[in-house]
Chains A and B, each alone.
Chain A
Amino acid sequence: MSDTSRDKVTEAGVAVIGGGMVGSALAYGLAKRGANVVLLDEGDIAYRAARGNFGLVWTQSKGDGMPAYAAWSLASAAAWPDFAEAMASAAGRSIGYEQRGGLVFCVGDAERDQRAAQLRRLHNQRDDAAPVATMLDRKALHDLMPRTPLGPQVVAASYAPGDGHVNPLYLLRGLHAAIRRHGGRHAPGAAVTQIVPTGGGFTLTRADGAMLRADRIVIAAGVATTRLAAMVDIAAPVRPQRGQIMVTERLAPLLPLPASALRQSAEGSVMIGVSVEEVGLDTGTTVKELARMAARALTVLPVLAEARMTRAWGALRPMTPDGFPAYAQSSTYPGAFVATCHSGVTLAAIHAEALAPAILAGRLPDGFEPFHPRRFDVRTAA
């Protein structure tokens, strides 16, 4: 295993703290461009949203209230096909990526009206002509998926042709393999406990006592981001928000397009989400939420009643107060960056292809001001 030595200061050009979806995509993008990168990852038991997420590459609900986020998500979706190819090549297998459109089902007229209003709002907030998503009525849905036996209460869906899905676990595996392929180092079991700015660089202390000096650092530590970012004088409020997911046995093709909280993987299993719970650092499952999610899924696809679910899990989304990503470079300690979001899968392509080169160049991309976490600072906002 690389880099598990204790009490030995090693050197890196860029140390990425956090081996999840955000940190791994950035480390890959950096390594690919020749940086001397080390990815500091935690051990087997960690709050890994990257291991528990749903796997949508999704644009159609993103950025209501922050057009920059909507644009960033769209740019990533556009970069995804090439990115997926690189990941499949590194993983040595298909990563289950498909981009054939995505749906948000509406059960009942109220949901339909609400969804249509949200799409209008999203479109109005952006200044380009083409809407990201459109509303499909029941007949249009049938024309799109004639063999999908939707429940009678499904009256409509929103549809975004650019949306898709991926197997997030194979994506993470591909990222880690690609980092190695480009000469980056992946250090598992290397949780970082302390960051000390030293002489234009940073000295990191790991939980196992080992130390590492890096010219630049990227804090992409999910729910641990707040604590670490404070060490480089960035206030980045992130709290854990639990989502539960369950998955069925493999079924014959049933749902050709992924939907919000309901998708069928390339292997045939159906994934069902998703809960939104403020329960702190608890990754457990509850029958209350799972039963509600199952009932909702059966409303959309009644034939799933006979499907056996094989597993359920809980994972923690790293949530900022407004739910949008936070990206920043420390003004006190230049060279220290923070990157956190709960859309690590959707944004993986753009993190690797646009954010990583910006970090390498020493400044965040133009137009990134809205993402700065100073927007949460009560003093300046007041």
Chain B
Amino acid sequence: MSAERIATDVPARADIVVIGGGPAGLAAATEAARRGAAVVLLDEQPALGGQVYRAVEANRARGKTLDADYAEGGRLVDAFRASGALAIHEASVWLVEPDGTVGFSRAGAATLMKAERVIVATGAVERAMPIPGWTLPGVMTVGAAQILLKTAGLVPQGRVWIAGSGPLLRLYAVQALAAGGQLAGIIDTTPPGNRRAALRHMGGAMGALGELRKGLAWTQAIRQAGVPWITGAHDLRAEADDDGALGTISFTADGARRSEPADTLLLHNGVVPNVQITRALDIEHDWNQTQRAFRPRCDAWGSTSVPAVMIAGDGAGIVGAAASAIAGRLAALESLRALGRLDQAARDDAAAPLRRALARALAIRPFLDALFAPSPEYLVPAGETIVCRCEEVTASALRQAVSLGCLGPNQLKSFTRCGMGPCQGRICGLTVAEVIASARGASVADVGYYRLRFPIKPLTLGELAAVHAPADPTAPR
């Protein structure tokens, strides 16, 4: 591992600012810096790799690779280190203005940086899985558990259940078992019909045999470890013990209600684009019915309606790590063209092999999308199930607000405080849209999404005031 380049002096300007240190961001920054641009990568994490390759360098140094895919993360980081791009870690980006101004905070100090182009590579977030009891202590997301595993080598102790659907659920189970963890069981909520629907896309998926084999190997490893795997489970609930923390889980499978003691329940309901920045920029978003998520509108390079802002990777629609890295390079090439560093012919020449590789990487996507299509039960929670964790707003309170005339999430937010907490609707946004759509009998596309505004991350008033150009801060308006 090369000596870490720590940003001591943060430059005030850059040709390109890349937001996010996952595959898309690393590849975008590398491509642009290699071709001579002054590139700054702002990463919220303490080390490069994003969610998928989190702490990849530290784990490699300790001789831990987790799996073969993870090694690819190491190659991306190495290329970035050699490219001349500057990484600024633990930078929480709270502002992107249409002119390319990026506001971020590190250790409580805010900075504004001006870029000619901004490449948003903020990836995916886990889709909420709002079951009764999902806010109890002892219940967390698979993604959060994976962070503990990758950064601290921690696996939860006691009776650990994993519930939900999606590739990450399997991957985490394999990683946890390899790290010496014990699993009480996996409750697979994937609707039984998905498998049949997915088979229709098998033809395309055959082009990505490696990916298919990987998935099968995960499944096999879990079965070999003797972990009970309950399929077709529904009506999942988490119930509290006397101490108020998780004590029991219950679900229905094979027509029977089952109740199991549990110390930890890890939930996962797939991933969706992280749209906080693109929403706050008022970029148009389109509803993707297959992935049941909104994605920002952009062209094949990642260009948006805001000329200075591009999107690459899962943030533009879930495509996976390999495709994200390619999308990052494409966005970099177009940024360089826009900056006059590359003519159009050179851009297109460089892009041609990337586009072919992208098509190969995306071949398996329709299969995965169909196989892991989320169960409607967990998209539209019932009754008193909490939807908004921050403000503890229940599904029935949302339905009542709809009956009061709330047609969409924004009026509903103002009537119920749903989405007004510190997470600013990041967790509940899609659930709220789904609940309103179901209550109105409308499509989620028509219902829409929260209108978001910068700052998209909570920051202290002291930080914010510090970026005020103080001719006279006391001057009245």
Chain B residues within an 8 Å CB radius of A45 = 408, 410, 448, 451
* A51 to B, closest residue via Cβ: B414
Cα distance, A313 to B414, chains bound together (Å): 12
Are B421 and A310 closer than 8 Å at their CB atoms? Answer: yes
A363 at interface (Cβ–Cβ under 8 A)? no
Mark interface residues in B430-444 (1 if CB within 8 Å of A CB, else 0): 000000000010000
Are B476 and A111 closer than 8 Å at their CB atoms? Answer: yes
Cβ 8 A contact of B422, one of A2, A249, A275, A288:
A249
Chain A residues within an 8 Å CB radius of B458 = 249, 308-310
A98 at interface (Cβ–Cβ under 8 A)? no
* A43 to B, closest residue via Cβ: B407
Are A51 and B465 closer than 8 Å at their CB atoms? Answer: no
Cα distance, A288 to B454, chains bound together (Å): 12
Cα distance, A187 to B405, chains bound together (Å): 7
Chain A interface residue count: which class? 35 or more
Mark interface residues in B382-423 (1 if CB within 8 Å of A CB, else 0): 000000000000000000000111111111101101001110
* B464 to A, closest residue via Cβ: A294
Chain B residues within an 8 Å CB radius of A274 = 477
Are B461 and A297 closer than 8 Å at their CB atoms? Answer: yes
A140 at interface (Cβ–Cβ under 8 A)? no
A-B contacts at CB below 8 angstroms, number: 139
Mark interface residues in B465-477 (1 if CB within 8 Å of A CB, else 0): 1111110011011
Chain B residues within an 8 Å CB radius of A187 = 405
B103 at interface (Cβ–Cβ under 8 A)? yes
Chain B residues within an 8 Å CB radius of A288 = 469
Are B467 and A287 closer than 8 Å at their CB atoms? Answer: yes
B424 at interface (Cβ–Cβ under 8 A)? yes
Chain B residues within an 8 Å CB radius of A375 = none
Query: With A44-B407, A44-B411, A275-B477 in contact, do A306 and B462 touch (Cβ < 8 Å)?
Result: yes
A148 at interface (Cβ–Cβ under 8 A)? no
Are A287 and B454 closer than 8 Å at their CB atoms? Answer: yes
* A19 to B, closest residue via Cβ: B405
Mark interface residues in B449-462 (1 if CB within 8 Å of A CB, else 0): 00101110011111
Query: With A44-B448, A107-B474 in contact, do A309 and B464 touch (Cβ < 8 Å)?
Result: yes
Are A310 and B422 closer than 8 Å at their CB atoms? Answer: yes
Minimum Cβ distance to chain A for residue B258 (Å): 39
* A169 to B, closest residue via Cβ: B414
Are A284 and B282 closer than 8 Å at their CB atoms? Answer: yes
Are A44 and B464 closer than 8 Å at their CB atoms? Answer: no
Are A43 and B459 closer than 8 Å at their CB atoms? Answer: no
A94 at interface (Cβ–Cβ under 8 A)? no
Cβ 8 A contact of B459, one of A44, A51, A189, A308:
A308
Are B453 and A313 closer than 8 Å at their CB atoms? Answer: yes
A153 at interface (Cβ–Cβ under 8 A)? yes
A305 at interface (Cβ–Cβ under 8 A)? yes
Cα distance, A309 to B473, chains bound together (Å): 19
Cβ 8 A contact of A311, one of B420, B461, B465, B468:
B420
Minimum Cβ distance to chain A for residue B259 (Å): 36
B139 at interface (Cβ–Cβ under 8 A)? no
Are B465 and A305 closer than 8 Å at their CB atoms? Answer: yes
Query: With A249-B458, A306-B460 in contact, do A188 and B405 touch (Cβ < 8 Å)?
Result: yes
Chain B residues within an 8 Å CB radius of A249 = 422, 458
* A289 to B, closest residue via Cβ: B477
* B468 to A, closest residue via Cβ: A291
Query: With A1-B405, A43-B408, A287-B95 in contact, do A309 and B282 touch (Cβ < 8 Å)?
Result: no
Cα distance, A314 to B455, chains bound together (Å): 12
Cβ 8 A contact of B410, one of A51, A176, A310:
A51
B208 at interface (Cβ–Cβ under 8 A)? no
Mark interface residues in A165-197 (1 if CB within 8 Å of B CB, else 0): 000010011001100100000111100000000
Are A309 and B461 closer than 8 Å at their CB atoms? Answer: yes
Cβ 8 A contact of B465, one of A2, A186, A298, A308:
A298
A100 at interface (Cβ–Cβ under 8 A)? no
Query: With A287-B112, A290-B464 in contact, do A311 and B453 touch (Cβ < 8 Å)?
Result: yes
Cα distance, A313 to B466, chains bound together (Å): 20
Chain A residues within an 8 Å CB radius of B421 = 310
A307 at interface (Cβ–Cβ under 8 A)? yes
Chain B residues within an 8 Å CB radius of A43 = 407-408
Cα distance, A272 to B97, chains bound together (Å): 21
Are A304 and B461 closer than 8 Å at their CB atoms? Answer: yes
Cα distance, A304 to B415, chains bound together (Å): 27
Are B465 and A295 closer than 8 Å at their CB atoms? Answer: yes
Cα distance, A1 to B404, chains bound together (Å): 8
Cα distance, A276 to B475, chains bound together (Å): 13
Chain B residues within an 8 Å CB radius of A169 = 414-415, 417
Minimum Cβ distance to chain A for residue B188 (Å): 36
B101 at interface (Cβ–Cβ under 8 A)? yes
A134 at interface (Cβ–Cβ under 8 A)? no
Mark interface residues in A230-268 (1 if CB within 8 Å of B CB, else 0): 000000000000000000110000000000000000000
Chain B residues within an 8 Å CB radius of A173 = 404, 414-415
Minimum Cβ distance to chain B for residue A199 (Å): 30
A292 at interface (Cβ–Cβ under 8 A)? yes
Minimum Cβ distance to chain A for residue B42 (Å): 16
Chain A residues within an 8 Å CB radius of B112 = 287
Chain A residues within an 8 Å CB radius of B462 = 294, 298, 304-306
Cα distance, A285 to B440, chains bound together (Å): 31
Chain A residues within an 8 Å CB radius of B97 = 286-287
Cβ 8 A contact of B467, one of A44, A291, A306:
A291
Are B405 and A41 closer than 8 Å at their CB atoms? Answer: yes
Mark interface residues in B101-116 (1 if CB within 8 Å of A CB, else 0): 1010000000010000
Cβ 8 A contact of B411, one of A51, A272, A285, A295:
A51
Cα distance, A45 to B414, chains bound together (Å): 12
Cα distance, A292 to B469, chains bound together (Å): 8
* A189 to B, closest residue via Cβ: B407
Chain A residues within an 8 Å CB radius of B129 = none
B325 at interface (Cβ–Cβ under 8 A)? no
Q: Which 4 A-B pairs have the closest CB atoms?
A: A44-B408, A305-B462, A291-B468, A295-B473
Given A176-B405, A294-B462, 15 other A-B contacts at CB below 8 A? A45-B410, A111-B474, A153-B474, A173-B414, A180-B404, A249-B458, A284-B453, A287-B97, A287-B101, A287-B454, A304-B461, A305-B461, A306-B460, A309-B460, A310-B458
Q: List 25 A-B contacts (CB under 8 A).
A: A45-B408, A51-B410, A51-B411, A107-B476, A169-B414, A177-B404, A187-B405, A188-B406, A249-B422, A276-B477, A285-B453, A285-B454, A287-B95, A287-B103, A290-B455, A292-B468, A294-B464, A295-B468, A295-B474, A297-B461, A298-B465, A306-B462, A308-B422, A308-B459, A309-B455
Give chain B's interface residues, CB within 8 Å of chain A: 95, 97, 101, 103, 112, 282, 403-412, 414-415, 417, 420-422, 424, 440, 447-448, 451, 453-455, 458-462, 464-470, 473-474, 476-477
